[in-house]
Copies of this chain bind each other. A is one copy, B any other.
């Protein structure tokens, strides 16, 4: 009841009444309970029902449940509804699924259980008769013995709170729908399926891969569903009521902090300094570099109003900071003595994408670092491009245990306005898709010419005759780089390592590396002795620099705790029970592979440290093996699409012509599986030209590009991939 009140007051909706009554387990019993029970129920009211359907979809596709909120007396014809929604077939969801999805049983199911997190994951159908009704309707107050009474229009208002640009309520007039259905031949299944969930809760429509506890989806069956479920259940993030924005909870933010700390410790000795530039850019400045801004323009968020005043000129929120920073570089750099200038900032940028957002991978606001440097010589700039790229490689490989392949982007895929782009490319084995990890760009002199960042050439011969008509005689435009790494790294880490129990965290970035769980407690054991043993063990580990925590919560079983910490991906669980203490040991359980082994308490800090290192390297090696196995050298065109379809990245002896790249994308896309809206684009594009060409066979003289037949230049990775940010 308090929960009902909380969600309503949060939505600024005042219920007509909140009524406690006898427990009920059917619509009829509900009605009776209300009649007999409580004087606070309104004199006149209707009841509501919530029906949950699972649509039939192609294998591997995500079934998006259809949730119908309707007046109790509405006749919901599921066949007609399916047709209206352009779905193949609707089956009532099993009661298990209701519990998993809503945390409620069929007799408590309420429209109030819909929240910002659930709403985008379902297709919500609203009985149009409720929308404009000022009549009073009863909805379950999250339980069998409570009812909230609301105006129909308030129910509609409550639900519409969660609408976003992508996720809208579908309004259906069930009277009209019924008459349409009556005019058509009735499919055989309708009669059964149309019965309300409450009356026929048993149904075989259980979502494949749904499990009773823990993660709802199987990674290999429903990857997108699995991904968001893992992120939510591990408390990495939560949905937010502005579409495309997500809350980074401490469990993920701490990973970002550990990356920040490591990266800062590496760039400082290189001479890079951190700074902070404003988030706003005037439109004039933003639009100065045409090539550069072209890619961002459709996604720029504009501030046009402050308080009640319209701004004279709209102001953009930075999508990236080249144009924010470079006018000041032109001002600050007066002499070659001011070079190199190397600034970095940790900030958030905004790109108002209209494509389907994905937590960490594609979000409207995201956190990153962006480094912007200016050099006297191309050599100095080139060296830094590669030094930074190597730091990015190490963030992935040494901190996140995710293998990546460093290389250079094709002309088509490089940063617009730059000279060349280097990248570390990752791989998601489950989908067989490549993913851009982070990029380090050489901007050459393009931006310095645009912004007038120029110095006197210190090596120009003194008193040399200068062309008086050339104002830049004896001057040098500086060489610039920019480089960025975003919170996307966290998404890649989750996708690569997570399993059907949830998250698997690499020890070096886990905010909790070891959880100590008391076990084997019963009425005969002295709980406090065991708890004390656990706390002492944690003290020993923490003193040795290990991030350890004891889970001494009362009222939870060890099994519940195991599941909880497994979902959250803690690398090592140490179980401590009376028998363990007697044997002066703890039982260690590795999250990454489930291996159990007793560890003597004597010297346990060292043993655990070394086990953490083993886990870190095992995780990396497994992921590296998976990537290596799926990196296929292909030299004939007819092998390209089948190899991609086998969830591989292909490595082609490529001609490096842009037209050929377009052609490869077109031809590999056509033959691929039908595109799913949530899946990334299915045409293959060039991912990178790896620096390490020696890992592939020697390119024989006369080798030709399998796509166009022109002479091959270098081995190049092509793959289906996740849509990328320009950084």
Contacts and interface: CB of A to CB of B under 8 A. Distances in A.
Interface of A: 1-2, 4-10, 12, 18, 20, 38, 40, 115, 117, 161, 165, 238, 240-242, 245-250, 253-254, 256-257, 273-282, 284-285, 288, 297-309, 312, 314-315, 317, 327-328, 330-332, 337, 343, 347-348, 350, 352, 354, 364-365, 367, 449-454, 456, 468-469, 471-472, 475, 553, 555
Given A305-B302, A330-B6, A471 B1 contact: yes
A238 B306 contact: no
A200 to B, nearest CB: 31
Contacts of A352: 306-307
A161 B280 contact: no
Given A352-B307, A472-B5, A250 B275 contact: yes
A478 B299 CA distance: 40
B303 A317 contact: yes
Number of copies of chain A assembled together: 2
B6 A452 contact: yes
A498 to B, nearest CB: 21
Contact of A302 (B304, B354, B365): B304
Contacts of A161: 284
A489 B347 CA distance: 20
4 A-B pairs with least C-beta separation? A6-B452, A306-B352, A250-B273, A245-B278
Given A247-B278, A304-B304, A317-B303, A285 B241 contact: yes
A278 B452 contact: no
Contact of A471 (B5, B276, B281, B304): B5
Given A115-B331, A278-B240, A280-B365, A165 B468 contact: no
Contact of A276 (B300, B306, B367): B367
Contacts of A312: 165
18 contacts: A4-B471, A6-B454, A18-B471, A40-B469, A161-B284, A240-B278, A241-B285, A242-B281, A242-B282, A246-B278, A247-B275, A248-B276, A253-B276, A254-B273, A299-B307, A302-B305, A303-B304, A337-B553
A5 to B, nearest CB: 5
Nearest to A347: B348
A164 B115 CA distance: 43
A335 B274 CA distance: 42
A20 B365 CA distance: 49
Nearest to A287: B12
A314 B305 contact: yes
A61 to B, nearest CB: 29
A20 B470 CA distance: 9
Nearest to A285: B241
A35 to B, nearest CB: 16
Nearest to A246: B278
Contacts of A471: 1-2, 4-5, 18, 20
Contacts of A555: 337
A66 to B, nearest CB: 24
